[in-house]
Amino acid sequence: MDQAFEDVLRSGIAALSLPVDDVAVAKLVRYAELLLTWNRKVNLTAITEPSEMAEKHFVDSLVLLPAIAGCKTLLDLGSGAGLPGMAVACARRDLEVTCCDSIGKKVAFVKAAAVDLDVKVRGVQARAGGKPEKEGLPRAEAVVSRALMEPERWAALGSSYLEPGGLLLGMLGKGVDRKVLESIGSEHGLTLLGVDQFELPFTRSSRAVVRWRREADVPRGT
């Protein structure tokens, strides 16, 4: 892997004060190598320039770490080639992650990468429709999507996969009015905990992570 990838990765981690150790960095570099190798034969990502990939895919995924500090399980819906789930698993080796995508070649990559990287990641090919048991998907303490859909649709879908008291996280390219997010959450038994807004350190691109919590006494979906 080009040294520029690791340099930008480490700089981004430091700039955002993310809890990522040297073991995680080594795994992330290897993950990037695997991604680019597979990408030559299988279309997994349009971003292939090392420094751009480091920031827009990897640093952008790792910003989830503070939000899920107390969680033991994570479900990543629409994960593609494993982002953010695989990247997070490299930093949180204790975390059990399920990466779900409807495209088989992307799930195949996730499975192969999980073995190579020795992380607790399971790949599942399914089209998420809010029926976790029928889809073979677990309920998790944290459920995330990375720019999968608008907040209204995401709250409706993602809440179906939450354990009671779990966190629903939405990764957005821009912020959304807090009152709107509170209203969206309340419709689905979710309490808005916060909206973390930040900029990627090099391109200065705006990002936001929405955090909702599911109330423990809300009945599970079917």
Taking only the tens place, the pLDDT of each residue in 44-57 is 999 999 999 999 99
Distance from C-alpha of 157 to C-alpha of 190, rounded to nearest angstrom: 12
In a domain, 198, yes or no: yes
Domain CATH number, residue 142: 3.40.50.150
Q: What angle do CA 132, 103, 71 make, to 5 degrees?
A: 45
pLDDT at 21: 97
Q: What mean pLDDT is predicted for residues 59-87?
A: 96
Residue 220, pLDDT above cutoff 70: no
In a domain, 219, yes or no: no
Peptide bond into 84 cis (omega under 30): yes
Q: What mean pLDDT is predicted for residues 94-123?
A: 97
pLDDT at 176: 77
Return the percent helix, strand and coil in the chain, to nearest 5: 40, 25, 35
Strand partners, 122: 98
In a domain, 190, yes or no: yes
* Banded model confidence at residue 173, pLDDT cuts 50, 70, 90: confident
* Banded model confidence at residue 215, pLDDT cuts 50, 70, 90: confident
- Helix 178-186 with 151-158: angle, nearest 10 deg: 30
In a domain, 221, yes or no: no
Burial per residue of 71-81, b for 16 or more beta-carbon CB atoms within 10 angstroms, e otherwise: bebbbbbbbbb
Strand partners, 190: 214
Residue 221, pLDDT above cutoff 60: no
Q: What mean pLDDT is predicted for residues 32-54?
A: 94
Q: Which comes out higher in pLDDT, residue 221 or 33? A: 33
pLDDT at 148: 67
How many structural domains are present in the chain?
Answer: 1
Q: Which comes out higher in pLDDT, residue 150 or 27? A: 27
DSSP letter for 161, please.
G
Q: Which of 92, 73, 77, 79 is nearest to 18 (CA)?
A: 92
Distance from C-alpha of 121 to C-alpha of 97, rounded to nearest angstrom: 5
Residue 177, pLDDT above cutoff 90: no
- List the single range of 20-34, 107-121, 166-180 with lowest mean pLDDT: 166-180
pLDDT at 15: 96
When the pLDDT of each residue in the chain is averaged and rounded to a whole number, the result is 93
Q: How many CB atoms lie within 10 A of CB 143?
A: 32
User: Which residue is listed with tokens 């892997």?
Assistant: 1
Dihedral angle, C-alpha 103, 30, 209, 56, nearest 10 °: -90
* Banded model confidence at residue 217, pLDDT cuts 50, 70, 90: low
In a domain, 222, yes or no: no
- List the single range of 34-43, 61-70, 141-150 with lowest mean pLDDT: 141-150
Q: Which of 45, 48, 113, 49 is nearest to 85 (CA)?
A: 113
Provide the domain limits for residue 105. Answer: 3-214
In a domain, 38, yes or no: yes
Burial per residue of 110-132, b for 16 or more beta-carbon CB atoms within 10 angstroms, e otherwise: bbebbeebebebbbbbbebeeeb
In a domain, 170, yes or no: yes
